[in-house]
Amino acid sequence: MTAFRTPLLTLLALAAPLAARLGAVEHEHDRPFLHPLFSDHTVLQRDMPVPVWGWAAPGSVVTVAMNGAQGTATAAADGRWTVKIGPFPAGGPYTMTVTGAVTVTVNDILMGDVWICSGQSNMEMGIGACNYDDEIKAAEHPDIRLLTVPRKVAKEPTYTADLAWLPCHPDTVTKGLWSGFSAAGYFFGRELNRELKVPIGLIHTSWGGTIAEAWTSAEGLTGMPDFADRLAQVVAARSVPEDEYANQLATWYKANDPGTGANWEKPATDVKDWKDIAVPKPWEQSGVPGFETFDGVAWYRREFDAPADWVGKDLALNLGPIDDLDTTWVNGQPVGSAERYDIARTYTIPAKLVRKGRNSIAVRVLDTGGLGGIWGKPEQLSVGPAGVPPLPLAGTWKIKDSSTLAKLGAPPSRIDSSNPNVVTVLSNGMLEPIVPYAVKGAIWYQGESNAGRAWQYRTLLPAMITDWRTRFGCGDFGFHIVSLAGFMKSAPQPGDNDWAELREAQALTAKQLKNCGLALAIDIGNADDIHPKDKREVGRRLALSALANTYHQTVEWSGPWYAKMAVEGAKIRLHFDHLGGGLVAKGDKLTGFAIAGADHVFTWADAQIDGDTVVVSAAAVAAPEAVRYAWDANPVCDLFNKAGLPAVPFRTDDYPARTRDAK
């Protein structure tokens, strides 16, 4: 490592507004003298002033010393003290000594670049879950350091957590909630380390199945009318008892869900017009018409025959995981409910409800985005008393859609440790504990859970990024977005699609915001698995985006990006940026394009590469006015540049989006 130049050590006095924002959320004894981010093996951000902070008795003096320089701060009225050190170049290892009522020594500090790795399950997915045994064995990188923020839902900002930096090697890279450290994050960091030859610190904070507004602070959402009611509900929910919340939720369903109003849980419910569905499987993958991209409330029903010797006994009803929220009835009486998409449901059917012969099960499911429905493994679905083989429940059920998410409006909010999908709660519990650590930027793999509100995401994602940048105080730090991987059955005919609109929102954000980039995963997805395993390429593409947009290196970081179009008779000519040496077709010909005329009805098109353009036409469209490419949840992706990067999905039209009214 290179040695430091003589450092500048400056003192930062806490401003009154910040002190107020850091109000008494945690008890004084929970606040450590030195924040746990500053532990052995930490990476501090090079080339910018770095805040170091903790808590001490109000008015007491704290000294920070590092590499021959030192500075002091006086603890404020709330006990918080902050000293800024640096800027320093890349280098180390170094030792920091912090002295006050006690003395703390931090060893093996490296100066390099620090990146936040955040999002939902595809960021959370560990390297051990991706079949990378050889990569794990080779993961000996002493100048890459890893830190994982534990899962936490919090009603108000939480300023500390159980944190520790770990040098990257095969034993530490496999530590994590889901088979190790974030695979996408690891491969991103490794690429940067190889290219830049500087230490890399990776802070992983993610939670599967979560929504972007949960990762945004109240201040960040304040300017968005869509979330005003939810923010107010969060404030009110802080003191709502469990039984009162249950009453509020029941009232909300009764008022907003037609199935609840019509008592579809009753055994006598007529299901002759309900549709058959194979269970378990997410309803988007079931092939049931109308459920391909459905978000909202739907009801399941089926019956089972109980033998005479089950009467008078409690039964265990196992339904596997349900995405997202369910309420379950047996013979018209409620037996349980849960709110997590990844928790297997096991409910007790009280003996008094069990009848000899025919018994009815009704399950009301609220899906708030992404996949929905009963989705586990067949063996997870069963019913029966203890001590006897259970009756399997996998197979054909009945299903009926009741209300779309757009029509429902926001349900009442409750804040507890099991529900991360409430506005601000992950910002409070999993981001605030690392604010205002100095960072180079963030990578973000999320959006599946917001796809049903993709139009809203056009505003939400930029608001979240701006919120993070404001809170960390590092200027317009790098922010690099993974465009969703291909998933689900491909549509046989072109049309509107929530996931396509979500990708559009991601691309618009990357294009509009400074120091922001996009890494496509659309061509490396899996139709049958929302968690594709090729996170190595995801990490590489994220690194390309960072090298170009944040580090300003001359490197092609994107595939072809639609620039403009021109109508030429019965054809449309498309022009692109990011040619990467030229356009190429993957396969014999381009098949991912659709074209429409004044009727706005799209049909599959013939497409030909002509130099640096693509010419699109269809015999059925004599007067074309719009083209779409890769406009599906799992589209054909066959336009690339010679740099080997796929074209960004696009549409040339501004026809009304299907998610425009979803709130």
The DSSP secondary structure of 90-132, one letter per residue, reads SEEEEEEEEESSSEEEEEEEEEEEEEEEEESHHHH-BGGGTT-
Residue 566, judged by CB atoms within 10 A of its CB (0-12, 13-18, 19+), counts as exposed
The three-state DSSP-derived secondary structure of 375-410 is CCCHHHEEEECCCCCCEECCEEEEEEEEEEHHHHCC
Tokens at 639, concatenated: 């336009």
Rg, C-alpha atoms of the chain: 27
**E strand or H helix that includes residue 516:** strand 516-520
Residue 218 has pLDDT above 80, yes or no: yes
pLDDT level of residue 387 (50, 70, 90 thresholds) = confident
Q: Whole-angstrom Cα distance, residue 549 to residue 567?
A: 33
Beta bridge partners of 365: 298, 326
Residue 347 CA, chain-centre distance (Å), reads 29
Eight-state DSSP code of residue 429: I
pLDDT level of residue 406 (50, 70, 90 thresholds) = confident
pLDDT of residue 235: 80
- Please choose, from the candidates 552, 534, 521, 541, the residue with its C-alpha nearest in 3D space to the C-alpha of residue 440: 552
The sign of the torsion formed by the CA atoms of 389, 394, 398, 400 equals: positive
Beta bridge partners of 329: 334, 362
Average pLDDT score, the chain: 92
The sign of the torsion formed by the CA atoms of 554, 557, 559, 560 equals: negative
Whole-model pTM? 0.81
Residue 376 has pLDDT above 80, yes or no: yes
* Fold match flag (9-223+421-549 vs 243-408): no
Residue 279 CA, chain-centre distance (Å), reads 26
Q: Whole-angstrom Cα distance, residue 86 to residue 6?
A: 9
Q: What is the pLDDT of residues 242-281, one digit of tens each?
A: 677 788 888 999 999 999 999 999 999 999 999 999 999 9
**E strand or H helix that includes residue 135:** helix 133-137
Average pLDDT over residues 375-383: 93
* Residue-wise burial string across 478-488, b where 16 or more C-beta atoms lie within 10 A, e elsewhere: bbbbbbbbbbb
The sign of the torsion formed by the CA atoms of 417, 418, 423, 429 equals: positive
Number of H helices, E strands in the chain: 14, 35
Q: What is the pLDDT of residues 486-533, one digit of tens each?
A: 999 999 999 999 999 999 999 999 999 999 999 999 999 999 898 999
Q: Whole-angstrom Cα distance, residue 104 to residue 234?
A: 38
Phi, psi dihedrals of residue 256, rounded to the nearest 5°: -115, -20
Residue 8 has pLDDT above 50, yes or no: no
Q: What is the pLDDT of residues 190-201, one digit of tens each?
A: 999 999 999 999
Name the CATH superfamily for 243-408: Galactose-binding domain-like (2.60.120.260)
Find the range with the poorest average confidence among 150-164, 221-235, 281-295: 221-235
Contact 518, 465 (CB under 8 A): no
**E strand or H helix that includes residue 470:** helix 454-472
- Per the listing, tokens 């290179």 go with 2
**E strand or H helix that includes residue 196:** helix 183-196
Dihedral (Cα; 615, 616, 618, 619), 10-degree rounding: -20
**Domain boundaries along the sequence of the chain:** 9-223+421-549, 243-408, 561-651
pLDDT level of residue 28 (50, 70, 90 thresholds) = low
Contact 13, 53 (CB under 8 A): no
Q: DSSP for 222-285?
A: TT-GGGHHHHHHHHHHTT--HHHHHHHHHHHHHHH-HHHHTTTTSTT---TTSEEEEESS-GGG
Residue 15 has pLDDT above 80, yes or no: no
Residue 11 has pLDDT above 60, yes or no: no
Architecture of the domain whose range is 9-223+421-549 = 3-Layer(aba) Sandwich (3.40)
The three-state DSSP-derived secondary structure of 547-581 is HHHCCCCCCCCCCCEEEEEEEECCEEEEEEECCCC
- Characterize the bridge pairing of strands 333-338 and 391-392: unpaired
